[in-house]
Every structure is written in C-alpha cells, then in structure tokens.
C-alpha cells in the first residue's frame, strides 16, 4: 500500500513535506509528523531553573548520583579555597566515573543512562541538569573511569540563551581540571567532580549557615548509607548520621512489620511488592530536652525512605491529623523505587502523593496502631501536664487574688433572695420590723473581688487558646492544651507561665466586663463579637506557631 493510501504524504529526503507551496502541507486530513518542533532553548532553560527545588534538595539530588556510582566517599565544599570570585559549590566522589557516552548523556535533559529501580536513587535522568540549574548558571563535570581518560564537560545557561540551542562542551580534561581532580580526590583512579558556579539562586547567603544546614540534611537523608559505611564531608567536616527515630536514645519500637502490596501498572502487568513499616515512640526528655531535640508537631509523623534514601520527613502522609498528642510518634516507611508511580514520586523526589489504593492499604494496617500509640502518648502527656499544671498556674492565681483590690474587676451577677414574708426574730428596738427593699429584682450587679482559677482541657488544635466563665465568685480560665500557643508559651517556657497567665486573665476579665450590663440582646451581640475576636486570635496564632 502506498503512503498516499495510508494518509501520509511523501516527504523529501530532509524530512520536509513536498508540496507546491513549499513546506506547508495542503493535503486534507493528512498527518505529517515531520515539522521540527524543538523548544526555544533560551526560554526553556530559564524555565527549568524554577521547578520547585530548594537548594538543599538539589544538593541531595546531586549526591544521589554519587551513591549510584558506588562511591565510598563524598566531599562537598561551599566557597572553598579553590573558589575564585563568587560562590562555587564543589561535589566530589570516588565513584565509578563516566566514559564519554555516559558523560554526554549526563548533561542532557532526560538522559538515557540505565537505572535500577530497586537500588538506584536517580529518577528519570533529570537530576544532574535540573538540580544544578536550580542553584547556578554554569555546571562543570570532571570525571574519570579506572584506566580511562579524564574527561571534562561544561554547560552554561548564558551560552544556551545566547545561541538559543542546547549546547555544551565535552572533551579531554586540561591541566587545570587534572590538578583540580587531584586536589579533591588525591590519587584516586576514578571518580567525578561537579562544580557549580555563577550561583545566583542561593536561598541562604550566609555560607556558614548554609553549609551547616547542608551537613544536617545530608546526615538525615543519607543516614542508612552513612551507617553502612559511606563517608561524607561538608567543608572538610564529617557528616554524622542523624536518626529521627532516636533508636540510640531510648526510643521504644512499637512495631516492625512487612506488608504485601499488589498493583497493576499501565501496561496491565501485576506487580507484587513489599512495604516495611517501623513505628516508634520517642522518649520524653522534658520540656527543654524535647525542644532542643525538635520533638514537636513539625517533626512528628512518618519518614519515607525510597531505596533507603529519605524522600519525606515529618509527614502525616494523610494517614493521621497532626496533633500535640503525636509529638513523640515517629514512623519509618521503607519502599522500593518500583513503587514510584503509586507513591506519586517525581524526579525531584519531594512531596510524594500516594494514590488511593496505596494510601488505603497503609490506612488499613496502620490506623489502628496509630490510634493505640496516640492513647499511650496522650495518657503519658496528660499525666505530666496535670502534675505540672498544679505548679505552673497556682502562682498566677495566688498573685491575682492578692492584687484583686487593685484590678479592674468584672461585675458578676449574684443572686439575691426575695424579701421575707415573715417578721424576723430580732431583739431591740433598732431591729423592730422589716423594711421593704427598694430594688425587688431577683438579681443585681455587684462588684466583687474576683478569685481566679486556671484549668486545662483538651479542646482540639482547632479550638480557642482559652475559654473563661464565672462560677459563683470565681473566674475559671481553661487553657486548651492542644493549641500550639499552650505548647510554646506554657509547656516550653516555664519562666513565662505566670506572665502568660496574667495576660490571659486580663483578656478574659475584659471580655466579661465588656459583655456585662445592658439588656440581654445587647449582651448576646457583644458576646458573639468577643467570641469572634477570640476565635480569630486563636486561628492566627495557630498558623503562626505551627
């Protein structure tokens, strides 16, 4: 059958469609996929610099290439002595190195280097280019395989923009690159060095702080590799493994299980995988100790490890709602890269989004255990808080009682008895009869010294910071122990407790004073307004402190 019968018009040797008008095909209903549709290189490469990487995630992505190359040592220098001019980030490893074909692919978007989903950390062949572009405008690679030549490649955003083509340099390393290789890796027979220069997108301009943060991030993300022998350095300081499960600090292992999971891929193939889940309850180090160790709401939850490399930390993964009850709960979920599609993992390896089947499987197994952990941790926390509450708030109540005569006081509603219908049993002429009251109403406003008492209750993280109500002659202020305000200002700052109690007492007293007097309808309107103010204040503080 001819091309015309297939609906495809013949093309010239160079791929252009042959028509009387040149390249434009005028044949109706003919599909000719021959027109060049290359992207505008200059605009695309600038767009690729804004894919959502933060600097730390980008550096970790570059280190993935080191572990995939079987490196035993990875060293990072940030604006080291080798740098000239602006900030230069150097990442050196003693891995396998690259030959020319692999190096050619490495600086290409969507490189075709072979990957093992079960063990490799890279994803989609995008990491080296997109990660480096998110930080800098120029990336250089010096690499050498054992018994192979030393190679050198450069990609520069400014050159790509100027030529409007995706171009790079690749060739043999010169004397400068050879010296740099030896300076970083000594007499290593193989390895790779990546240099990031023209770093115009650093998110932390303080290089010391930036380096310290990189060191911490690497220690946690690659902890399993470090524990297995990988050595990493940042500015010549060794990177120690950081275990958020705190197994060496007394954490209690609640459970360790392996759950089977089956799914069908887009080609209809059935996959049988395993999910390993380890749940822990962290020890209680006390208020100061927990704060120093960041045992708090942001860090509670699950830590997801893909091929033993952490890709999510302190995440609820939509398996529970974060709450102070879970501050000492941590869990590790270990999965293979073969589950990337159902976990919603992209090439940045950030913020996975589980599909419904995968999430439901985890919920089925983990929800009852999470509830059990919450009960244990909550009972422990409340027991401690109840004991601390007696100590914390009694001082504020005592001082408020002592200074009551100096304070602006609410006017409490106190009940009065009806006039007696019988003569009182009295002696003496001065008490010889009853006297009709001028105000015969059942209630009247009366200023009283207002003793105060503080209580605590679990009202949910979405509840108000406090609630207040008069009970007889006592103003009861109930703190919401679930609100981040209580965590930050009461539990974590014992020296501020009394002053904070004074503040909330004053606000509560002012609220009652404002809503008193006047008719019932006016009182209700004022009460609604004060409730709205308290709700808004609590909501804003919850967002700011979480």
Among the residues of 164-199, which ranges form H helices? 175-185
Tell me which residue has tokens 């690749």: 170
User: Which residue would you say has higher pLDDT here, 493 or 4?
Assistant: 493
pLDDT of residue 427: 39
Is 227 in contact with 260 (CB distance < 8 Å)?
no
Please state which of the four CATH numbers 1.10.1040.10, 3.40.640.10, 3.30.565.10, 2.60.120.200 is assigned to the domain occupying 44-238: 3.30.565.10
The yes-or-no verdict on residue 254 having pLDDT over 80 is yes
pLDDT of residue 527: 81
Per-residue HEC secondary structure of 216-265 comes to HHHHHHCHHHHHCCCEEEECCEECCCCCCCCHHHCCEEEEEEEEEEEEEC
> Percent of the chain having pLDDT more than 90?
47
- Alpha carbon 292 to chain centroid distance? 18
State pTM to two decimals.
Answer: 0.67
- In the chain, CATH 3.30.230 covers 247-378
What is the number of alpha carbons within 13 Å of residue 2 lying toward its C-beta? 5
Secondary structure class of 381 (helix, strand, coil): helix
- Strand pairing partners for 452? 475
| Sheet of strand 270-281: strand arrangement | 252-264, 270-281, 329-335, 301-306, 309-315
- Strand pairing partners for 276? 258, 334
Is 351 in contact with 312 (CB distance < 8 Å)?
yes
Q: How far apart are CA 77 and CA 142, in angstroms?
A: 15
User: Which residue would you say has higher pLDDT here, 317 or 149?
Assistant: 149
Per-residue DSSP letter, 487:
I
Residue 86 neighbours by CB distance under 10 Å: 12
- In the chain, CATH 3.30.565.10 covers 44-238
Give the residue-averaged pLDDT of 172-191.
96
Give the residue-averaged pLDDT of 142-170.
96
The yes-or-no verdict on residue 314 having pLDDT over 60 is yes
Give the relative orientation of helices 497-515 and 356-402 as an angle to the nearest 10 degrees: 80
pLDDT digits (tens, 9 = 90+) for 116-149: 555 455 544 466 888 999 999 999 999 999 999 9
Long-range contacts at 261-269 (CB < 8 A, ≥ 24 apart): 261/339, 261/358, 261/361, 263/339, 263/342, 263/357, 263/358, 265/341, 266/341
Secondary structure class of 69 (helix, strand, coil): coil
Q: How far apart are CA 176 and CA 243, in angstroms?
A: 40
Length of the chain: 546
Tell which residue, 442, 296, 307, has the closest CA to residue 381: 296
Is 309 in contact with 221 (CB distance < 8 Å)?
yes
Is 501 in contact with 393 (CB distance < 8 Å)?
yes
pLDDT of residue 103: 93
pLDDT of residue 456: 85
User: Which residue would you say has higher pLDDT here, 185 or 344?
Assistant: 185
User: Which residue would you say has higher pLDDT here, 339 or 13?
Assistant: 339
pLDDT of residue 185: 97
- Contact partners, residue 270, CB within 8 Å, separation at least 6: 262, 263, 264
**Mean pLDDT of the residues in the chain:** 82
Secondary structure class of 76 (helix, strand, coil): strand
Domain 247-378 has CATH 1.20.120: no
Q: Confidence class of residue 432 from pLDDT cuts 50, 70 and 90?
A: very low
- Strand pairing partners for 141? 153, 194
User: Which residue would you say has higher pLDDT here, 140 or 377?
Assistant: 140
Q: Confidence class of residue 32 from pLDDT cuts 50, 70 and 90?
A: confident
Is 239 in contact with 219 (CB distance < 8 Å)?
yes
> Percent of the chain having pLDDT more than 70?
79
Q: How far apart are CA 153 and CA 41, in angstroms?
A: 19
The yes-or-no verdict on residue 4 having pLDDT over 50 is no
Give the residue-averaged pLDDT of 365-388.
80
């Amino acid at each position: 059958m001819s091309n015309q019968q297939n609906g495809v018009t013949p093309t010239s040797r160079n791929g252009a469609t042959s028509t009387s008008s040149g390249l434009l095909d005028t044949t109706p209903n003919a599909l000719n996929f021959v027109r060049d549709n290359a992207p505008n290189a200059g605009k695309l490469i600038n767009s690729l610099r804004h894919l959502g990487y933060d600097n730390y995630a980008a550096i970790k992505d570059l280190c993935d290439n080191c572990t995939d190359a079987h490196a035993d040592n990875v060293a990072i220098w940030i604006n080291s002595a080798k740098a000239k001019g602006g900030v230069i980030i150097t990442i050196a490893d003693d891995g396998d190195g690259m030959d020319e074909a692999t190096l050619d692919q490495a600086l290409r978007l969507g490189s075709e280097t072979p990957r093992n989903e079960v063990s490799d950390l890279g994803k989609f062949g995008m990491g080296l280019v997109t990660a480096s572009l998110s930080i800098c405008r120029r990336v250089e690679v010096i690499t050498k395989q054992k018994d192979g030549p030393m190679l050198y490649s450069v990609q520069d955003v400014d050159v790509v923009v100027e030529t409007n083509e995706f171009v790079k340099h690749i060739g043999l390393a010169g004397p400068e690159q050879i010296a740099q290789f030896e300076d970083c890796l000594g007499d290593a027979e193989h390895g790779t060095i990546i240099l990031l220069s023209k770093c115009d997108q650093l998110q932390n301009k303080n290089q010391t702080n930036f380096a310290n943060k990189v060191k911490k991030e690497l220690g946690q993300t690659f902890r399993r590799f470090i524990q297995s022998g990988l050595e990493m350095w940042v500015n010549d300081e060794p990177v120690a493994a950081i275990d958020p499960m705190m197994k060496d600090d007394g954490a209690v292992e609640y459970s360790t299980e392996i759950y089977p999971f089956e799914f069908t891929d887009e080609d209809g193939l059935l996959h049988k995988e395993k999910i390993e889940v380890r749940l822990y309850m962290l020890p209680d180090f006390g208020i100061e100790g927990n704060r120093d160790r960041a045992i708090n709401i942001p860090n509670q939850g699950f830590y997801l490890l893909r091929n033993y490399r952490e890709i999510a930390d302190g995440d609820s993964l939509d398996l529970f709602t974060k709450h102070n009850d879970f501050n000492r709960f941590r869990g590790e979920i270990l999965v293979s890269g073969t589950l990337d599609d159902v976990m919603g993992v992209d090439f940045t390896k950030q913020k996975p989004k589980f599909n419904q089947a995968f999430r439901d499987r985890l919920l089925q197994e983990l929800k009852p255990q999470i509830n059990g952990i919450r009960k244990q941790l909550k009972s422990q926390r409340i027991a401690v808080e109840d004991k601390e509450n007696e100590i914390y708030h009694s001082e504020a109540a005592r001082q408020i009682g002592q200074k009551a005569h100096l304070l602006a006081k609410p006017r409490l509603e106190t009940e009065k008895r009806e006039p007696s219908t019988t003569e009182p049993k009295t002696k003496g002429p001065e008490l010889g009869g009853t006297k009709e009251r001028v105000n015969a109403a059942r209630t009247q406003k009366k200023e009283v010294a207002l003793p105060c008492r503080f209580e605590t209750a679990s009202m949910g993280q979405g509840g108000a910071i406090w609630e207040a109500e008069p009970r007889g002659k006592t103003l009861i202020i109930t703190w919401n122990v679930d609100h981040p305000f209580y965590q930050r200002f009461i539990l974590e700052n014992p020296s501020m407790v009394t002053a904070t109690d004074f503040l909330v007492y004053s606000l509560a007293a002012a609220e009652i004073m404002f809503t008193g007097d006047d008719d019932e309808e006016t009182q209700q309107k004022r009460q609604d307004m004060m409730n709205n103010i308290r709700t808004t204040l609590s909501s804003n503080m919850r967002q700011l402190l979480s």
